Chain A
Amino acid sequence: MPDIAERGYAKPDVLVSTDWVAENLNNPNVRIIESNEDPLLYPSGHIPGAVQVDWTRDLNDPVLRDYIQKPQFETLMSRIGVTKDTTVVFYGDKNNWWATYAFWVFQLFGHTNAKIMDGGRLKWEKEGRELTREVPQYPPTQYVAPERDDTKIRAFRAQVLEHIKAQKPLVDVRSPQEYTGELLHMPNYPQEGTLRGGHIPGAQSVPWARAVNPDDGTFKTSDELRAIYEGEKGLKPTDDIIAYCRIGERSSHSWFVLTYLLGYNNVRNYDGSWTEWGNSVGVPIEKNV
Chain B
Amino acid sequence: MSQIPAKLQRILDDFSAITDRHERAEYLIEIADRFNSVRVPADISARPHPEENHVQMCESDAYVWAIPKEDGTHQFYFDVLNPQGLSAMALSVVLAETLSGEPNEAVAKVMPDIVFTLFGREVAMGKGQGLMGIVNMVQYAAKSKL
Chain A interfacial positions (CB closer than 8 Å to B): 36-41, 43-44, 55-57, 93-94, 121-122, 125, 177, 184-186, 189-190, 192-193, 246-247, 249, 275
Contact = CB atoms under 8 A, between A and B. Distances in A.
Interface in B79-125: 82-88, 90, 119, 122-125
Interface residues of B, number: 32
Contacts, number: 72
A99 B118 CA distance: 25
Contacts of B32: 40, 44
Nearest to B33: A44
A186 B140 contact: yes
20 contacts: A36-B84, A37-B124, A37-B126, A38-B85, A38-B86, A39-B87, A39-B119, A40-B25, A40-B32, A41-B84, A43-B26, A44-B29, A57-B122, A93-B84, A122-B84, A177-B56, A186-B140, A189-B133, A192-B129, A247-B125
A44 B125 contact: no
B136 A186 contact: yes
Contacts of A122: 84
B116 to A, nearest CB: 12
A56 B124 contact: yes
Given A40-B28, A192-B57, A185 B51 contact: yes
Given A40-B86, A40-B90, A247-B125, A189 B56 contact: yes
Interface of B: 22, 25-26, 28-29, 32, 51-52, 56-57, 59-60, 82-88, 90, 119, 122-127, 129, 133, 136-137, 140
Contacts of B86: 38, 40-41, 44
Contacts of B119: 39
Contacts of B26: 43
A64 B107 CA distance: 35
A27 B140 CA distance: 52
Contacts of A246: 126
**Highest count of chain A CB atoms <10 Å: which of B29, B90, B124:** B124
A184 B56 contact: yes
Nearest to A40: B86
Given A93-B84, A121-B84, A43 B122 contact: no
